[in-house]
Structure 1
């Protein structure tokens, strides 16, 4: 196995059957799912006008445009949300 100094994949491994790529945390992903994620990434890059992931990562100004706006995540208790929207049912 080539080790070119990139340790982003450290701890990842294939299952004994070869059906799943397993993360260091134990999350499993199939090869088909990984291919789908890579295809989607390439299509998003293509749509944004980049030829490759490396080109997108090294382009400062276009990268900001590619990244889009940040997303704010708010966690709300479902019961509180339901009561606020619909009131208490008796």
Structure 2
């Protein structure tokens, strides 16, 4: 959602949750925009892309533990770099 750009998205749940980054055809994010996210609850949080969206991360796209945080940065058309405390 465009309103999430530059803000902190928090997940505070005991259940598994998914953060889905939408395609450029759905939301007009500007290159370089970032979305910060934090896992506050015990439930797993996975960052994924909608159809056509690529998430690049060296360690995986799940926030590793409770209180882990990560930032997704748009650096190309439908290509995001996920930085932070993540795992496979």
TM-score calculated relative to the size of structure 2: 0.16
> Structure 1 or 2: larger helix share?
1
> Structure 1 or 2: larger strand share?
2
* Structure having the higher Rg: 1
